[in-house]
Amino acid sequence: MSDVSNQWRGMRARSMGQTFEAIIDAGCAWYRERGLAYIEKTPEPMRPLRAPNSKGQFLACYTKAAQPDYKGTILGGRSIVIEAKHTDSGRIDQSRTSSEQMEALATHYGLGGLAFVLVSFGLTEYFMVPWLTWRDMKEL
């Protein structure tokens, strides 16, 4: 029973995460169409281990630690880096961001770029958390 329950929770979490990314993608398209920004999803670095089967499925492994989810440039030339996090609970922990993602956000911010964590609570509430607030959230 717990295996089925865990599988269901995993499928639901992936589905909700994909829905959240679709919302972000639509927002990025809105800014791009108006010439205000060019922000795109960062591809996941992976390497196929086997050829696709008859259903087009393949086995792959990640070749590099996860990077922030979105990168781009806003009108005026400033870079922007965004990490997206979704949760169905009423709270989000800083630990949901990997050390590699935290380092990338800090580096871009330190170089003068904009860095944010977009948070979705149940796909009903959304927050754009500035990097320094996310970094210092335990103290705040």
Segment 43-48 mean pLDDT: 70
82 and 69 in contact (C-beta within 8 Å)?
yes
75 and 87 in contact (C-beta within 8 Å)?
no
Confidence class of residue 12 from pLDDT cuts 50, 70 and 90?
confident
94 and 137 in contact (C-beta within 8 Å)?
yes
pLDDT for residue 123 is more than 90: yes
Q: How much is the pLDDT for 66?
A: 78
CA distances from 4 to 7, 11, 35 (A): 5, 10, 46
- Do strands 70-74 and 60-62 pair parallel, antiparallel, or not at all (unpaired)? unpaired
As a whole number, the mean pLDDT across the chain is 89
3-class DSSP state of 115: strand
Kindly give, in sequence order, each residue whose CB lies less than 8 Å from that of residue 16, ignoring residues fewer than 6 positions away: 86, 88, 120, 123
Q: What is the pLDDT of residues 84-109, one digit of tens each?
A: 999 988 899 999 999 999 999 999 99
Query: What does pTM read for this prediction?
Result: 0.81
46 and 62 in contact (C-beta within 8 Å)?
yes
